[in-house]
Amino acid sequence: MSELFPRKQVMGFVFSLVLTALALAVYFFDMSFTVAMTLLLVTAFIQAGLQLVVFMHAGETEDKGAIYTNIYYGVFIALVTVLGTLLCMIWGYV
Amino acid sequence: MDILDRFAIPPHDDPMLYGSLVAIVIVTIAIIAGLTYFKKWGYLWREWLTTVDHKRIGIMYLISALVMLFRGGADAILLRAQLAVPENSLLDAQHYNEIFTTHGIVMILFMAMPFIMALMNFVVPLQIGARDVAFPRLNALSFWLFFMGAMLLNISFVIGGSPDAGWTSYFPLAGNDFSTSVGTNYYMIAIQIAGIGTLMTGINFITTILKMRAPGMGLMQMPMFTWSSLIANVIIVFAFPVLTVALAMGTFDRLFGTHLFSTTNGGMDMLWANLFWVWGHPEVYILILPAFGIYSEIISTFSRRNLYGYKAMVGSMVIISLLSFLVWTHHFYTMGQGALTNSIFSITTMAIAVPTGVKIFNWLFTMYKGKIEITTPMLYAIMFIPLFTIGGATGVMLGMSAADYQYHNTMFLVAHFHNTIIPGVVFAMLAGLTYYWPKMFGFMLNERIGKWAAWMNCIGFLLAFMPMYVTGLDGQARRMYTYSASTGYGPLNMVSFVGAAVMAIGFVLIAYNIYYSTRYASRDIGSDPWNARTLEWATHTPVPGYNFATLPQVDSNEALWSAKKKGHKLFDSKYEKIHMPNNSGVPFIMSAIFFVWGFSLVFSLWIPAILATIGIFACMAHRSFEKDHGHYISVQEVEQTEKKLRGVS
Amino acid sequence: MKLDHSLPPEYSTEENRLKILGFWIFIGAEIMLFGTLFASYFTLVDRTAGTPGAAELFGITPLIIETLLLLTSSFTIGLGVHAMRMGNKKAMMAFFAITLLLGAGFLGVEIYEFNHFVHQGVTLQTSAFSAILFMTLGTHGIHVTIGIFWGLFILMQLKKDGLNPATANKSFIFSLYWHFLDVVWIFIFSFVYLKGMM
């Protein structure tokens, strides 16, 4: 942690740019809806995870159990809310 | 007068509203006059308005909850009186709608929530052996935001008009086309303000419980009320933001002409119902889990036995917290989803009954072969078990989506949720109030009066709500201000009214108990009058500001019992200086600005709203630059306080 | 106040550790806040009642500029926290200042975008889609705006009081907030803009 050159930050930044560029492929290239959505989901969640662990130092302290539990719980419930809302309002609506 | 019209201040020819307005003005003047005459403004500001002490904040929540209990109860009596006979003319439809709306909002958000907050605030830091919560200043802000939100809603019926679209405020009824008064604006904004306070409490208590426990108290050595508080606060953190967004969207529709929930321009009114219940269902678990925690403490104490199945009790609450986010659609099965969607939610709804059932059995096993002492709190707990089970069973009935088409929005539903909330939450709060009263105020509430009140509440509850199951199955709809005699609903509704009156007697007895005990009860009760098992009873009465002179060393989930029975040493005797936070006026002031902000938005007064917004951010900026590191209580002062209190208790 | 020198400065007191955990929990709540906005957005995204929708409104160029600005600002604040842990106050303040400028740049482009929407005839009141679009982007934008002011206040305190456990703690918590806003943007970028322009 006390090395001079911020290697982790630079690598993280470069990786984020790569993930962003990959996501942009859905705009610049033709692909099916499923492939595009998969690409977006994968790049988004990886980049989010990157931010969390590398930049936000989520796993660094004795509280990491609480922090990760908190994030997983939040993401899980957010997904349930998004998918459940779409189910009730659109997909499952008669 | 024009300004009175703008704010719809009641005219002379609406006697009930006008009478209420006059009463409010008189009481306000009386309070101001009293404070001035007895020269108590300084005391009020120093000791209560600026306090950051969790015990004082808890007591303020308690007083607010009790006052709101009477407001909500008055609403209930009026509703029951109107429905006692067919074609009654006590309340017209508009008034009836306003009253059942405010009854719901007040009872759930401004009575039950603050009651829970009161007990959590007072008890949890003591139960974990801490000196205060993690963020005392934020804690004060939570209370004052709740208070201002409650005040804002409560003036609605004399200034501008109450909300009248139900506590669920469905669109398009709640939109500008059908709710033309500012009532629904009050709804959107007052609840928003109070909700922000609650979210802050969630963050505060999770941090407190995770990080500030006494040495030796691992997560699995925490008392059950603390566990239930932790889980309830986790639900708060993830559920309340949903409400924040939903209310904001509703506010935009009403104030800024957006089409989120409207019937034109692509709006989707069902989205409101969906988002409301994504919050609303977890909300009822926020209410019930701390209640379950209180019952765990009381049943264990008055059975003189360790709580049965500690791990199962913890596990069941964790499962309930997760499942509570997966069931919300059962509140609107009949509103357009297909069979598959409804079936999924039926399954999750029925599943959530299982961990709850586990808890009921564990309480029974705790009592089995225990040395049961039926005190007032224990009486409530014993009543709770069968009554709540009935309510839970009717919940499973409602949870079956196909069957729900018969029950939805009938009195059957009304009976079910009162059947779970009253024995579940209200009795727990009254039991908890009686149980913790001696620690809060230094004397016991009278047992005889307390038990009379409990029986009145129990019998009154049964008389009021059991008939509703029958009339509901018979077809009586909820939220209907009257019914014709030919329906045959009359006799049972009259029984309900009698039940409501009996409950009213019960609550009057509780108020009388408070008066009577304050006047006559002995102050010489020691610090552990119930012979209890957990750390909060290891403090002096009255509890000193710093709670514990030295932090306790814990060896089990019943640290005090272990100290009493096994000689475990709770406190080592070396005092150190104690770091305490300073009082602050900013939470009160910032909340008062929130009130002005809210009121301005309700009436679309844009300039005051913008100025208030700037004021709120100014308070936050002030906090950022503030360098307040609290103060120290010297070892000498600790010694003196301890000596004095040991003499008393 | 007991200082634990084995930990980075922002964690060095008990109170500091409490505040950082508390802020992580706040972030959990914000995940739900934005989650709800996303749920509403996806539900209402096609409900334009004939008015222009995502495909007509969004432009790839402003999107790429906004994303690069915000992503880079996340990088620069990471460098700032790194400098803070090395005890280098000047570098830290410089990186924080650059972060805030990049954030302001982001806001500028977003305002330009909103203006463009309005000129296309799409305002807050036009349709359900437009309302939830402005509310979602706007909520994120307001968070960035508040962040810029908050960051400025911290810079002022760093200038006046120097780098100590209290200012280090505030700076770290601010960096958590800023990174989180970038996380939210990643989802907006992917599922509001790119999905809308597929």
Q: Is the per-residue pLDDT at B6 higher than 70?
A: no
User: Is A4 touching C (CB cutoff 8 A)?
Assistant: yes
Q: Which residues contact residue B360 at a Cβ distance below 8 angstroms, ignoring those fewer than 6 apart?
A: B385, B388, B389
Q: What pLDDT does C14 receive?
A: 85
Q: Which residues contact residue C90 at a Cβ distance below 8 angstroms, ignoring those fewer than 6 apart?
A: none
Rounded average pLDDT over B218-239: 96
Q: What pLDDT does A1 receive?
A: 46
Closest partner CB to B238 (pick from A73, A88, A91): A73
Rounded average pLDDT over B327-342: 95
Q: And the tokens for B218?
A: 């691992």
Rounded CA-CA distance B273/B183 in Å is: 19
Q: Per the domain annotation, does C70 fall within a domain?
A: yes
Q: And the tokens for C13?
A: 């007191």
* Per-residue pLDDT tens over the stretch B471-529: 999 999 999 999 999 999 999 999 999 999 999 999 999 999 999 999 999 998 888 99
Q: Which of residues 92-151 of B touch C (CB under 8 A)?
A: 134-135
For residue B137, which of B544, B633, B630 has the smallest C-alpha distance?
Answer: B630
B461 close to B73: Cβ distance less than 8 angstroms = no
Q: And the tokens for B190?
A: 């007052």
Helix segments in B257-375, DSSP class H: 269-302, 310-323, 339-367
Nearest-5° Cα angle at B463, B459 to B467: 150
ipTM above 0.85, yes or no: yes
List beta partners, residue B274: none
Q: And the tokens for B46?
A: 């120093």
Instruction: Give chains near C: 3+ CB pairs under 8 A.
Output: A, B
Q: Is the per-residue pLDDT at B450 higher than 90?
A: yes
C26 close to B238: Cβ distance less than 8 angstroms = no
Q: Domain B50-584+628-648 adopts which CATH fold?
A: Cytochrome C Oxidase; Chain A (1.20.210)
Q: Is the per-residue pLDDT at B211 higher than 50?
A: yes
Q: Per the domain annotation, does C3 fall within a domain?
A: no
Q: Is the per-residue pLDDT at B10 higher than 90?
A: no
Q: What pLDDT does B248 receive?
A: 98
Rounded CA-CA distance B165/C1 in Å is: 53
Q: And the tokens for B310?
A: 């500690």
| Domain limits for position C35 | 9-197
Q: Which of residues 35-64 of A touch C (CB under 8 A)?
A: 36-37, 40-41, 43-44, 47-48, 51-52, 55-56, 58, 61, 63
Report the chain C residue with the minimal C-alpha distance to residue B581.
C15
User: Residue holding tokens 């955990």?
Assistant: C21
Q: Which residues contact residue B489 at a Cβ distance below 8 angstroms, ignoring those fewer than 6 apart?
A: B86, B471, B474, B476, B483
Q: What pLDDT does B573 receive?
A: 67
Among B310-319, B440-449, B623-632, C152-161, name the one with the lowest average pLDDT.
Answer: B623-632
Residue B649 or B372, more confident: B372
Q: What is the pTM assigned to this prediction?
A: 0.95
Within a 10 A sphere around the Cβ of B614, how many other Cβ atoms?
12
Residue B423: asked if its preceding bond is cis (omega within 30°), the reply is no
Report the chain A residue with the minimal C-alpha distance to residue C84.
A2
Q: What pLDDT does B571 receive?
A: 81
* Per-residue pLDDT tens over the stretch B27-83: 889 989 998 988 889 999 999 999 999 999 999 999 999 999 999 999 999 999 999
Q: Per the domain annotation, does C4 fall within a domain?
A: no
Q: Per the domain annotation, does C20 fall within a domain?
A: yes
The minimum CA-CA distance between A42 and chain B, rounded to whole Å, is 24
Q: What share of chain A is helix, strand, coil (3-state, %, to 5)?
A: 80, 0, 20
The number of domains in chain C is: 1
B490 close to B471: Cβ distance less than 8 angstroms = no
Q: What is the mean pLDDT of chain B?
A: 93
Collect all residues of chain B within an 8 Å Cβ-Cβ radius of residue C36.
241-242, 244-246, 275, 278
Q: What pLDDT does C2 receive?
A: 66
DSSP letter string, C72-121: HHHHHHHHHHHHHHTT-HHHHHHHHHHHHHHHHHHHHHHHHHHHHHHHTT
pLDDT band, residue B530 (cuts 50/70/90): very high
pLDDT-flagged residues of chain A (< 50)? 1
Q: Per the domain annotation, does C1 fall within a domain?
A: no
Within a 10 A sphere around the Cβ of B369, how many other Cβ atoms?
9
3-state SS, B299-317, equals HHHHCCCCCCCHHHHHHHH
pLDDT-flagged residues of chain C (< 70)? 1-2
Give the CATH number, domain containing residue C138.
1.20.120.80
Closest partner CB to B199 (pick from C29, C126, C166): C29
Q: How many helices (H) and strands (E) does chain C have?
A: 7, 0
3-state secondary structure of B432: helix
Q: Is the per-residue pLDDT at B454 higher than 70?
A: yes
Q: What pLDDT does A2 receive?
A: 52
Helix segments in B400-489, DSSP class H: 401-407, 411-421, 427-441, 447-474
Collect all residues of chain B within an 8 Å Cβ-Cβ radius of residue C126.
259, 265
Q: What pLDDT does B82 receive?
A: 96
Rounded CA-CA distance B285/B283 in Å is: 5
Report the chain B residue with the minimal C-alpha distance to residue C26.
B203
Amino acid at B305: R
pLDDT band, residue B649 (cuts 50/70/90): very low
3-state secondary structure of A93: strand
User: Is B615 touching C (CB cutoff 8 A)?
Assistant: no
Measured CA to CA in angstroms, residue C139 lies from A63, B397, C135 at distances of 29, 41, 6
Enumerate the domain spans of chain B: 13-49, 50-584+628-648
Q: Is the per-residue pLDDT at B256 higher than 50?
A: yes
* Per-residue pLDDT tens over the stretch B413-431: 999 999 999 999 999 999 9
Rounded CA-CA distance B81/B501 in Å is: 9
Report the chain A residue with the minimal C-alpha distance to residue B327.
A84
